[in-house]
Structure 1
Amino acid sequence: MIPGRRGTLRRPALYMAIALLVLSACTARASETPADRPNISATPTVAPLEPQVVNANAFTTRTPIKHVVFVVKENRTFDDLFGTFPGANGVSFGMDHGTKRPLIPGTAGRLPSDIPHCYQCAIQAWDHGKMDGFDQPPTGKWAYSQLHRSQLPNYWRWAERNVLFDDFFSSAWGPSFPNHLYTIAAQSAEARDNPRRPPKSMSNTFGCDAPPEQKVERYDSQGHVGLVPPCFDFRTEGDVLNRAHIPWAYYAATERQRGYIWSAYSAIDRYRNDP
């Protein structure tokens, strides 16, 4: 999640819908097949819970909105998906160390490897505000690519029928772990990178059940860096919803599924260890 664009709303009537979006984080439930199961070193300590069925129509609300679904995806900028969207504040070129570089057509399949997006990678891409340092090995050229309407028919249809944020930043300069914490709490406890797995580790988690030697960098207000366990206890949107007696659920991969590292609530102690 390298710095992208900050959001502006095009339809004031939907302020309430957007406000509610930040109060209900849900990721898509991952499917599980024998081939997808990672070889992890620890057995699950918490059984996945099925959310209670709730009749949303039984709740009195100020607006007709009864359900809010927040689907979390990552590693795409606005210009990669909607840079050519009519009327949007998008671009079809980028700066590469002072040189204007047209964006090539994006691939519809998987890249050979990830585009670098660690904390230091984001600082390098930012380049003191020049925003021209995205070409980083091994797959930096794909940072200067762009998908088009024919490749994203559903996304473009939703953008046409609803609201499109055309100036949007990721919340934290860095990769998945801190930004996923932002989706549930609007903060990352000053964590700015992914937890460091020990060499040859079979760890399948970024949360409170990580091995003792697995730590994450944490920056304090003075810029000092320390290594701490990836387990925190700050207030989340789930706590806000509980206090307001609003039902909610969070869907993510289980410990035996790929993608469990992106289950943000596994890094919140009272949810992970006392669900």
Structure 2
Amino acid sequence: NAGDEDAIVIVADEKENCIDALRAVAERAKEAIRGVPEETRAANPDGTTRYMRPRPGAARMYPETDVPPIPISNEHLERLMMNLPEMPERKVERLIREYGINEKLARQLQDSEYDDLFEIIVKETSVPSTFVAATLTETLKSLKREGFEIERLSREQIIKVFRLVGSGRTSKEALPEIFKWLSRHEGADPEEAIKELGLAMLSKHELQRIVKELIDQNRRLILERGERAFGPLMGMIMKKYRGRVDAGMVSALIKEEISRYSKGVD
């Protein structure tokens, strides 16, 4: 009395084998009620699936019989252990300890493709480690989100850009513009980027002249605000020369000139 939605199982064999087979069918039906059985299934042309074989258990796990055993010595194991990559947590701790960066930057570096590049740059240049880490993990990522093809930058280009910063050839503030230019000119020399963008650092003598002229042009502001004139004056110079001056040097020169002017020293 099977209906349209009923399944019929026909087993033909010796009675004992038939009983075993039907018991297996019944057990499988019970499993299907509880959920999808753990098994390997094949796809049918109509999008349904069919049973192929049970998932392999411990009984099916055996050595490959066609490959002879390969003896592994304790010395070989020791060499492997010595060359294992650094564990993530240990690397984060080491980056914090050795380079003085915070945990957030250390974890970002560990998860990035620039972790080893960071260490090379810090060791080869005088650029502060925190700035290097932030540039590699945040600035480059931000530029990529803006649509710049940062993946075009080679490791050598990135290292050279930081060398130029460390040697005073360009400023830290100029890095985003330099990286943008390099992403549009694949394989170009970072020095060419500095030249094309006009981002070569001003000399200290040039900067002193610019600051003095600014002070002379804003005497009234200094008379009215005194030391509080520092902020507006700093903003004026950085707006015009950002990327070509070191902000720390600008700050020191402006404070010095304000102090000299306030005391009536020419």
- Could you tell me the TM-score, scaled by structure 2's length? 0.22
Query: Looking at CA atoms only, which structure, 1 or 2, has the larger radius of gyration?
Result: 2
Q: Which has the higher contact order (CA 8 A, sep 6+)?
A: 1
More helix by share: 2
